[in-house]
Structure 1
Amino acid sequence: MASKNRAEKREESGKEVHPDLPSISKPLKEKNTKGERRALQEAQRAAKAASKADGNTTVAETRRAAPSKRMWQSSQKKDGPLVMSPVATDKKSGDRPLEKERKKDAPPPRMQFDDKNRVEKAKRRAVVDQNEARNRVELFRHLPQYECWTQLPKLESKFFQLDSVHPAVFKVGMRYLAGDISGSNARCIEMLRAFQEAIIDYSTPPGKVLVRDLTAKISSYVSFFSECRPLSISMGNAIRFVKSCVAKLPLSHTESEAKAALCSDINQFINEKIILADKVIVGHAASKVRDGDVLLTYGSSCVVEMILLYAHDLGKQFRVVVVDSRPKFESRALLRRLVARGLSCTYTHINAVSYVMHEVTRVFLGASSILCNGTAYAKVGTACVAMVAHTFRVPVLICCEAYKFHERVQLDSICSNELGDPDAVAVVPGRMDVNYLDNWTNQDNLQLLNLFYDATPSDYVSAIVTDHGMIPPTSVAVIVREYGREHLI
């Protein structure tokens, strides 16, 4: 009877009464329909998005209004004095996620020279008056194809009009443009020496900060160098090193102390990463030369030349096969120097490399850079020589300094390369009777291609001789990871 009365009261009041606790009651929960539940969810999402937007606006206004990176909040304990405690409202740069840091350190994308709008903007900003080459090869339209070599006299007349370019930087750029400086080490050293002279003559303008203004100056010098000739990978690593040294300068240094520290860092980079590294490479590679060996080399690598001369000075008896190619014939100068020192040499062109490879015991090659996947980025023709040596089961040793290693991965020589003068391919020096392509630019359906570099796959490389020792191509990624940011660059 009592339970019946409670049920009747429940129905009348619309409230559910607990049987044991009659004083506690709550209204009956009505069941919503599916449409009502969906409408409620949509309303909650909209309210959440609005509150989030209001919160972001409030945080942004607070950060703009705050004079410093920290705000102070008051906290008063019970029966105690008022205490001001700092609360961090902005993260320090060291607390940023690793992905953001990697995106920040990533190099900007290369300019695609088949984009007409970007090319026109680059021309307006350029110091060098650049004319586009005619009869461009369609597969390489994305690379810079300017007739820079025709602009040398005109650019020399602008010397006293270029206030933004230091005289030492201008002089080195002219030598790049004329082709007087060849070799990745020589180009890198000349660039760093020019930076040193510019830093010595630098003075901070009034109202400027040395770190920011000097970094901007170096960036303008780099732009001028790239207009004269595209930068090599080793030059890019050296530029990043210089900029990192500028960024790490203590604020307590005076201007003279900062300039002295930068010049000292540049000298240390040249001595340790290039000069001493070459000596270490020579010691490692010369130990692989034995009496009676027939060594083959291609191009004109300064490190390979030092290895051959050092092994000869040790009294080892061996013969050198020097392989050359058109249009520059860089190996001729190497051949003259080796013969002058008393080495027994054989000279041949690259089209006959398969005929001499059967008597070769080792191949020593230089490289402009070693990429992260073990690919050797070197003078065009290096991949052909390495492939023939691999077919004949001849060991191929790539001699390269560690500062030329790069985290880039490249599978071909099309995406990134440098184009030379196509007229050099059309002309045969000293043979006027065979110059049948004098007027090749008038032929719309004829294109000449003069590549500077190619990519040698790691499958054709037996070992890489570097200042960290002799390593297999698969260990390049380890060197880049362990020594990349701290030791290499």
Structure 2
Amino acid sequence: VSGAVPAGGLEKSAGSGSGENKGGKKADDKNVAVFGHLYGQQRRTTVAGAGKEVHPAVLALGLQMRDYVVCGSSARCVATLLAFKRVIEAYTTPMGTSLPRHLTTYLSHQITYLSTCRPLSISQGNAIRALKLAISSIDPSTPEAEAKAFLGEFIDSFIREKITVADQVIASSAAQKIQDGDVIVTFAGSSIVKQTLLLAHKQGKKFRVSIIDSRPLFEGKSLARTLANAGLDVQYSLVHGISHAIKAASKVFLGAHAMTSNGRLYSRVGTALVAMSAKERAGGVEVPVIVCCETVKFTDRVALDSIVVNEIADADELITAEPMQQLTGLPDPAAVTVSTADAKKGGSGGGGGKSAAAAAAAAANAAAESNTLAQNVSSPLTGWKESANLQLLNIMYDVTPAEYVDMVVTEMGSLPPSAVPIVHRMSTNL
């Protein structure tokens, strides 16, 4: 999971260059060796350097994706298609060429920019592939206005069939698996799981939801707030309390970033821990793990672990942005000890009242000063780049083995993980 990783395998390089770590070498020493192949081009921070061909809607979307304003896999897919729809509407075919031949190249500039802001999701890749296929199917002699109208209708139809209606079908099917008295455990903030739980609650079923969340995105907070406002009984805990949260669980519902062709679930980091904890729960009672996933997230790629293919986010995201606050405001123990001793000494003498009052005032001042200092405590990870033997790892996804997933609920029905490649082949051939 995301967190601090000791130097370990990098001990030799960190030790040998402790006095010479300058510039690029120092930056390389902060990369975790096992994931070294994932440290490529840094995410774009501004629109500076973007090509003049990039549409303003795509420029804005890229920054929204980078800042996690548009975060989920489905949300990024829909936002990308809608941005491309605006690109197509504003597009004009240059003289001497045709729309099917030139538009694909023009869209490539938009795709390249988005990938520099954040790596594209599986659903984004599948949607872009379908859009390019639709563009290539247009007859070059078709009038530009007619071709653009066709592509606009194709994008709307793709979003409606592959995302909107698919989510409704999946939520309806998954809600049938929730019974009265169930304790549903979920991780982070999947939109399709949210729809499922809200639909089951609307159907009058009485159940409790336990949301497990993790740093640094805390996606489960939004889900917990939405479900609580809708009237559901919600429990919220962080991933380090999973052993307690999973004890009473009767079912686990998980969202997906992608389902690979070998039946493995590729999702937000921490998902594998939740699924494995459900299967290895103390007492020997296995908890069913149900994954809700649209077929647009299926891929023919194979994932064996979360090391070869993953996404590395900025390590500074793990550092708390706001200073920690100590709510107790305990005074300095040394000041309290001295004040108590002075009070006892004063009490045994003649001016005991004044001494006791002065001691109490000193203790109050010390407590106030201690409370002020406690409220401005900085994060322990502040300045981590200056520590020679510390690296931070902030990966985005992990891989859950197929044997820890009981069922995958899709718009084509409920199926075992082993059937993912068959359904993917069927959905891409339609």
TM bucket (normalised to shorter chain) is 0.7 to 0.9
Separation of aligned partners in 1, 2:413 and 2:186: 20
Instruction: Measure how far apart 1:147 and its partner are.
Output: 4.5
Return the TM-score normalized by structure 2: 0.78
Corresponding position of 1:462: 406
Corresponding position of 2:109: 220
In the superposition, relative to structure 1, how do residues 237 and 297 fare at CA in structure 2: closer, same or farther (>3 Å)?
same
Corresponding position of 2:342: none
Corresponding position of 1:92: none
Corresponding position of 2:310: 417
* Counterpart among 250, 258, 277 of residue 139 in structure 2: 250
Note the residue ranges of structure 1 that are not aligned, 5 or more in a row.
Answer: 1-131
Instruction: Measure how far apart 1:480 and its partner are.
Output: 1.7
Instruction: Measure how far apart 1:356 and its partner are.
Output: 2.3
In the superposition, relative to structure 1, how do residues 463 and 429 fare at CA in structure 2: closer, same or farther (>3 Å)?
farther
Matched, 1:395 2:288: yes
Separation of aligned partners in 1, 2:68 and 2:202: 32
Q: Is the 8 A contact 1:322 1:345 kept in 2?
A: yes
Corresponding position of 1:122: none
Matched, 1:232 2:121: yes
Q: Secondary structure at the match of 1:433?
A: coil
Corresponding position of 2:70: 181
Q: Is the 8 A contact 2:252 2:288 kept in 1?
A: yes
Deviations 1:66-96 (A, max 9, x none): xxxxxxxxxxxxxxxxxxxxxxxxxxxxxxx
- 2:194 maps to amino acid: E
Separation of aligned partners in 2, 1:136 and 1:276: 42
Segments of 4+ moved more than 6 angstroms: none
- 2:160 maps to amino acid: N
Q: Secondary structure at the match of 2:392?
A: coil
**How many pairs were matched up?**
349
Separation of aligned partners in 1, 2:63 and 2:29: 23
Q: Secondary structure at the match of 1:215?
A: helix
The aligned runs of 1:33-432 (5 Å cut-off) are 135-148=30-43, 151-152=45-46, 155=47, 162-392=51-281, 393-427=286-320, 429-431=322-324
Deviations 1:242-271 (A, max 9, x none): 100000012331111111101110110000
Note the residue ranges of structure 2 that are not aligned, 5 or more in a row.
Answer: 1-26, 325-375
Instruction: Measure how far apart 1:477 and its partner are.
Output: 1.6
Q: Is the 8 A contact 2:100 2:139 kept in 1?
A: no
Q: Is the 8 A contact 1:145 1:419 kept in 2?
A: no
Q: Is the 8 A contact 1:372 1:477 kept in 2?
A: yes
* Counterpart among 407, 410, 418 of residue 474 in structure 1: 418
Separation of aligned partners in 2, 1:474 and 1:446: 40
Return the TM-score normalized by structure 1: 0.69
Identity across matched positions, percent: 42
Separation of aligned partners in 2, 1:352 and 1:457: 22
In the superposition, relative to structure 1, how do residues 429 and 464 fare at CA in structure 2: closer, same or farther (>3 Å)?
farther
In the superposition, relative to structure 1, how do residues 389 and 428 fare at CA in structure 2: closer, same or farther (>3 Å)?
farther
Q: Is the 8 A contact 1:196 1:263 kept in 2?
A: yes
Separation of aligned partners in 2, 1:351 and 1:226: 33
In the superposition, relative to structure 1, how do residues 349 and 140 fare at CA in structure 2: closer, same or farther (>3 Å)?
same
Instruction: Measure how far apart 1:428 and its partner are.
Output: 6.8
- 2:319 maps to amino acid: A
Corresponding position of 1:34: none
Corresponding position of 2:359: none
Instruction: Measure how far apart 1:277 and its partner are.
Output: 0.2
Q: Is the 8 A contact 2:306 2:397 kept in 1?
A: yes
Two-structure CA RMSD over aligned residues (Å): 1.6
Instruction: Measure how far apart 1:301 and its partner are.
Output: 0.4
Q: Is the 8 A contact 1:200 1:259 kept in 2?
A: yes
Separation of aligned partners in 2, 1:449 and 1:420: 8
Of the two, which has the highest radius of gyration? Answer: 1
- 2:117 maps to amino acid: C
Separation of aligned partners in 2, 1:196 and 1:133: 40
Q: Is the 8 A contact 1:134 1:441 kept in 2?
A: no
Q: Secondary structure at the match of 1:409?
A: coil
- 1:424 maps to amino acid: E
Instruction: Measure how far apart 1:158 and its partner are.
Output: 6.0
Q: Secondary structure at the match of 2:247?
A: helix
Separation of aligned partners in 2, 1:430 and 1:379: 27
Q: Secondary structure at the match of 1:448?
A: strand
Deviations 1:446-488 (A, max 9, x none): 211001000011010010010011100111121122223x23x
Separation of aligned partners in 2, 1:383 and 1:428: 27
Instruction: Measure how far apart 1:146 and its partner are.
Output: 4.7
Q: Is the 8 A contact 1:133 1:147 kept in 2?
A: no
Q: Secondary structure at the match of 1:141?
A: helix
Matched, 1:436 2:331: no
